Chain A
Amino acid sequence: MDFGPYLLLASLEGAVTAAVLALMAAGLSLVFGVMRVVNVAHGEFYMLGAVLAWVVASAVGGGPVLGFVAALVVAPLLVGALAAAADVTVLKRLDYDPERTIVATIGLLYILQQLTLMGYGPEARPVAPPFNARLALPWVEWGDAGPQLYWPWGLSITSYKLFVIGAAVAVLAGLWLFMTRTRVGLVMRATQLDGEMAQAFGIPVERVYAGVFGLGAALAALAGVLIVPIQQAHYLMGGEALLLSFIVVIIGGLGSLAGTVIAAVLIGMSDGIISVFFSPTLAKIIATLLVAFVLVFRPRGLMGKAAR
């Protein structure tokens, strides 16, 4: 394949990765920003979203569109409720102590993973996409008679992948509006800035925490539902996703939505492009190296605010 079409294909693939990663990392970042909890079980909420999407889609029947839409609504709600329950029953009892919550969420990770293995099984199961037309993409070539359009071999994307990119952008925009323009968002930001002061002003901090933890998990689950028609639901899929989310959140700055999105695009695109032109291992090496550099030279991340 020629260089130009190849680059376009790699970028499109990178954009899909970036979109899903941004959604997931936004949830992780939100939870850390507001609650100061490093949620190691975040990848499992992503996995649960995908698995529940399969469960809902197979239970609903009535065509792929209906099943997928039902999954898109039900799975994040269920996972969010589960996470909120975990917050109330586990994290709250630990007084959100940073070290103990890490251990607790590691425990949560294994419980969720193994319960899924016991209940859902080891198979990777697919969910039919609601629509999935293959779109061949044209490329411009300068021939003797000026620019010409042609359709390079293999250069294509599916309508569903475009939808994933669009959906992620819409959800992230919605999240930003929610955080900056609504009262609930204001309460969350107040809790993020100073939990004790917020409580003094009558904000029910515990309920905010449960809500934030649920919202973070729901975002991961939504990412899971969106990815499952492209990849399949599998009980181990959370591991890699968690690792990439941490990389994104560290580079972007914990607690910063804008930084998270920028870092997700950076990591997603570089993963797509570097692994196409060089090797996938190099893409991982560079991402990890980037994390190291950020930690050394700019510990608060690209967009993170300095600790006060």
Chain B
Amino acid sequence: MSESFKPADPARRGALKTLAGAAAGAASLPLWARYAGAQSAEPIRIGFQMHATGIGAAYGRWYDRTTRAATSLINEAGGINGRPVEIVTEDDGTDPKRGAEVVEKFANQHNCDVGYGTLFSHVVMGSAPRAGELKMPYFVVSEGHHVASGALNRWTVQPGICDVKSQVLAMAPFVSQTLGKKVTMIFPDYAFGHDHRDFFSEAMAANGGEVIAKLAIPPTETSFTKYFPKIPRETEVIYHVMVGPAVLTFVKEMGEFFGPSRPEIFGFIDSLEAVDLSSPGLEFLEGTYFWEGMPRYAQPDQTPYDAHYRAAVGVDETGASVNDPKDVSTYAHMFGCWETLYVIKAGMEAAGYQGPADRQKLIEAVEAMTDMPHSNEHPQGAKRFNGKTHQVFGPQYISKLEGGRLDVIHTASLEETFYPDEVDYTARSF
């Protein structure tokens, strides 16, 4: 404390009056001035590594909107530890090399307290080591298994979105019991796709099914028909997960390839994030199934938390922007930004975070977290954080596309997404 105690003033009553007046006045002050009572009125600076350009730009745009919505709510409610939150945005071009530079900028130029917000797994892989070297907490909102696999470091955590391994573990029982035993997988040929390939193949085998063909497609590919003949004729289920700007072409050409005689199709909504389901060429997806991280269409049993979150971000009940029904969100992923920001808030409050000197305390506080109840702060569902693996677990949804909208037909519980720990980050040094 910089102020020292003063002896009691004889005119206490007058002082109290003044104080009351000042409090009333403070309520009418602009937002920044209200934080003057905190030990430091300096904002908490969160470096937001945004895929503003490059192949992740559609995700980046919605990650940005979600981040802004959550930040303004946090600030309206008094900020973190009495200090306002400021988001410092840097574009990483969805590029790993640039990602590492952005992390460096956050730490050394912008004086950010933490780095946050990276989605694409190759960018996470490129950036996280630098965050570790700079000893800056790095909150990723990716989906890759790289955090929980132990490939990264003590400074990198993923507390807002589940990883691919837990997602596919929860999907395999449904696919093998409801859709079919013989599966052909189509996935992008890099880390994220390989996670799908490896974990889903294992999970299918454990559930009495079999992956009979694996089609890896280069991430920059723009035409897909030439790959489809590799799909074996006896395939009962197609499992597809594609990302990037060509996803719509992929789905459309798959429809044209199969024509009227398609197998069952199960896809990760990643193949159609930010894509309007009424786009021409998608008619054939009618009756197919999708994994969703969070249901894009508001469900009949919508929780008040989902309603609150939708309204704050500006998304209507079909998952599109309230301003433009053609501007479809990345609803199955962007909740991760919202929840991560609230985890940062909770972690900083638990650690009594004051500045970069407390970064280690912040990581320890996050590692100590366990259950996160279904709430406005965690609108996707109740979660459990594993401090050892730095990874959060939550429910997963399977929706069927019918009548041009996705409706949830199966919810995989939290417990179905667990798997044995592969790493104990808490045993590693800072």
A153 touches B280 (CB 8 A): no
Please determine whether A240 and B222 come into contact, CB atoms closer than 8 angstroms: yes
Q: Is the CB of B223 within 8 A of A13?
A: yes
Q: Which of B53, B233, B279, B281 interacts with A117 by CB under 8 Å?
A: B53
The interface bits of chain A over 114-140 (1 if a CB of B lies within 8 angstroms of the residue's CB, else 0) are 100100011110111100101010000
Q: Mark A99-117, 1 if CB is under 8 A from B, else 0.
A: 0000000000000001001
What is the size category of the interface that chain B forms with chain A? 35 or more
* Interface contact A231-B281, CB-CB below 8 Å: no
B:230-281 near A, CB below 8 Å? 231, 233, 245-249, 252, 256-259, 261, 274-275, 279-281
| CB <8 Å contact, B256 and A128 | no
For residue A132, which residues in chain B have a CB less than 8 angstroms away from its CB?
280-281
Those of A185-200 within 8 Å (CB) of chain B: none
Q: How far is the CA of A230 from the CA of B222 in the complex (A)?
A: 10
Collect the chain A residues with CB atoms within 8 Å of residue B54's CB: 236
Least Cβ–Cβ distance between A20 and chain B, in angstroms? 10
- Say whether, besides A117-B53, A153-B261, A156-B256, A124 and B227 are in contact (CB < 8 Å): no
A154 interface residue per 8 A CB criterion = yes
Q: Out of B57, B220, B226, B248, name the residue touching A122 (CB < 8 Å).
A: B57
**A154-B228 in contact (CB<8A):** yes
Check B58 for interface membership: any CB of A closer than 8 A. yes
Separation of A6 and B281 alpha carbons in the complex (Å):
23
Cβ of B423 within 8 Å of any chain A Cβ, yes or no, is no
Q: Are A124 and B261 in contact (CB under 8 A)?
A: no
Q: Across the interface, do A136 and B223 meet the contact criterion of CB distance under 8 Å?
A: no
- Across the interface, B218 reaches (CB within 8 A) one of A64, A231, A281, namely A281
Q: Within 8 Å of chain A (Cβ to Cβ): is B55?
A: yes
CA distance in complex: A240, B223 (Å): 12
A296 CB-CB contact with B under 8 Å: no
Q: Which residue of A lies closest to B218 (CB)?
A: A280
Task: Say which residue of A10, A236, A276 sits within 8 Å of B245 (CB atoms).
Answer: A236
Chain B, 263-306, CB within 8 A of any chain A CB: 274-275, 279-281
Q: Measured between alpha carbons, how far is A1 from B327 in the docked complex, in Å? A: 39
Judge whether A154 and B257 touch: CB under 8 Å: yes
Q: How far is the CB of A74 from chain B (nearest CB, A)?
A: 20
Contacts of B257 in A (CB 8 A): 154, 156
In the complex, what residues of B have CB within 8 A of residue A126's CB? 248, 252, 279-281
Asked if A153 contacts B233 (CB within 8 A), the reply is yes
Indicate if the CB atoms of B229 and A124 lie closer than 8 Å: no
User: Which residue of chain A is the closest to B281 with respect to CB atoms?
Assistant: A126
Nearest chain A residue, comparing its CB with the CB of B257: A154
B57 contacts A232, CB within 8 Å?
no
Could you say which residues of chain A place their CB within 8 Å of the CB of B221?
A: 280
Contact indicator A276/B229 (Cβ below 8 Å): yes
Q: Whole-angstrom distance from the CB of A196 to the nearest CB of chain B?
A: 43
* A217-273 at interface with B (beta carbon < 8 Å): 229-232, 234-237, 240, 272
* Alpha-carbon gap, A14 to B223, bound state (A): 10
How far, in angstroms, from A236 to B231 measured CA to CA in the complex? 29
User: Is residue B60 within 8 Å, beta carbon to beta carbon, of the partner chain?
Assistant: yes
Instruction: Point out residues on B near A: beta carbons under 8 Å.
Output: 53-55, 57-58, 60-61, 217-218, 220-223, 225-229, 231, 233, 245-249, 252, 256-259, 261, 274-275, 279-281, 327
- 19 extra interface residue pairs, beta carbon distance < 8 Å, beyond A117-B53, A232-B248: A13-B223, A13-B225, A13-B226, A121-B61, A122-B60, A124-B245, A132-B280, A132-B281, A136-B259, A154-B259, A158-B256, A230-B223, A231-B222, A231-B249, A234-B245, A275-B226, A276-B229, A280-B217, A280-B218
| Chain A residues within 8 Å of B, Cβ to Cβ | 1, 5-6, 9-10, 13-14, 16-17, 64, 114, 117, 121-124, 126-129, 132, 134, 136, 153-154, 156, 158, 229-232, 234-237, 240, 272, 275-276, 280-281
Closest A-B pairs by Cβ, 8 of them: A122-B57, A128-B280, A124-B245, A1-B229, A234-B245, A276-B226, A122-B58, A231-B249
17 A-B residue pairings within 8 Å (CB atoms): A9-B229, A13-B225, A16-B223, A17-B223, A121-B327, A123-B58, A124-B275, A126-B280, A128-B280, A134-B259, A154-B259, A230-B223, A230-B249, A231-B249, A236-B245, A240-B222, A281-B218
